[in-house]
Amino acid sequence: MATPIVRRSNNQSSQSSTTGKSNLLPLKTRRFAAWAVEFTLLVISGLVPFGIGVYANSKSDLNRVPLHPVLVVTERTIAYPLALPVSYGTRNVAWVTNFFWSLAVLAPLGVSGWQLYLLAKTGSTMPKKWFGVRVVNEQGMSPGILAVGKRELIGRWTVPISVTYILWRNSFAFPNLGVFTIVAALIWLADATGFPKSKPRRAWHDRLAGTYTIDDTLPFTPEQLRNPAQWTDSDEEAAIASIVITPESQPKSSQKPSIWQNLQKNPSLSLIGMAIASIILVLGTLISTQIYIQVQQNRRAAQQDASQQFTSLFQKLSPKSQASDAEKRRAIAVMGTLNHPQAKQFLVNLLIEEANNPKLTNAIEQALVNLGPKVIPNLKRANQVISRQLGQGKNISAPEQKLKQQSLRLNIQVINKILEVHSGNTDGVDLNRAQLVTSNPPAPALNLQLNKVDVWGINFKYANLSQASFKGSRFRGAGKDGRWDTYDDWITDLSGAQMQQADLTNANLSRVLMVRTNLSRATLNQAHLFNARMVDANLSSSQLVGADLHGAVLENASLTGADLSDAKLNEADLYGARLGRAIAISAQLSHANLTNTDWQAADLSGANLLRANLRNANLSATRLKGAILKNANLENAKFRNADLSLADLRGANLAGADFQGTILTSGKQNPADRFVQTPSVGSESAVVQGVDFTEVKNLNPRQLAYICTQGALHPSCP
Q: List pLDDT tens digits, range 254-281.
A: 455 555 566 566 676 667 777 888 888 8
CA distance 590 to 614: 11
CA distance 133 to 128: 5
What CA–CA distances, in Å, run from 401 to 395, 397, 408, 606?
A: 9, 6, 11, 55
Between 404 and 397, the higher pLDDT residue: 404
Taking residues 107-128, report their average pLDDT: 92
Taking residues 630-647, report their average pLDDT: 94
281 Cβ contact partners less than 8 Å away, ≥ 6 residues apart = none
What range defines the domain where residue 171 resides? 11-248
Would the pLDDT of 663 be above 60? yes
Grouping H, G, I as helix, E, B as strand and the rest as coil, residue 631 is coil
Tally of domains in the chain: 1
What percentage of the chain has pLDDT greater than the value 70? Answer: 84
The answer to whether residue 635 sits within a structural domain is: no
Q: For residue 13, what pLDDT band results from cuts at 50, 70 and 90?
A: very low
Mean pLDDT score of the chain:
83
Least confident of 510-514, 629-633, 668-672: 668-672
Predicted pLDDT at 246 = 37
CA neighbor of 34 nearest in space, from 192, 239, 148:
192
CA distance 201 to 233: 8
E strand map for 216-349? none
The answer to whether residue 72 sits within a structural domain is: yes
Looking only at the bridges linking them, the beta strands covering 490-491 and 133-137 are unpaired
The answer to whether residue 609 sits within a structural domain is: no
> Quick check: pTM over 0.85?
no
The answer to whether residue 670 sits within a structural domain is: no
- Identity of residue 94: A
CA distance 640 to 489: 46
Would the pLDDT of 185 be above 80? yes
CA distance 26 to 223: 23
The answer to whether residue 572 sits within a structural domain is: no
10 Cβ contact partners less than 8 Å away, ≥ 6 residues apart = none
The answer to whether residue 31 sits within a structural domain is: yes
CA distance 388 to 395: 11
The answer to whether residue 708 sits within a structural domain is: no
- Bridge-partner residues for 713, per DSSP? 692
CA distance 249 to 270: 34
Least confident of 28-37, 54-63, 397-406, 486-495: 54-63
Predicted pLDDT at 269 = 67
Between 448 and 225, the higher pLDDT residue: 448
* Cβ atoms of residues 378 and 340 within 8 Å: no
Predicted pLDDT at 117 = 92
Q: Is 212 exposed, middle or buried, given 0-12, 13-18 or 19+ CB atoms closer than 10 A?
A: buried
CA distance 152 to 147: 9
- DSSP code for 258: P
The answer to whether residue 454 sits within a structural domain is: no
Scored b (16 or more CB within 10 A) or e, 464-487 reads bbbbbbbbbbbbbbebeeeeebbb
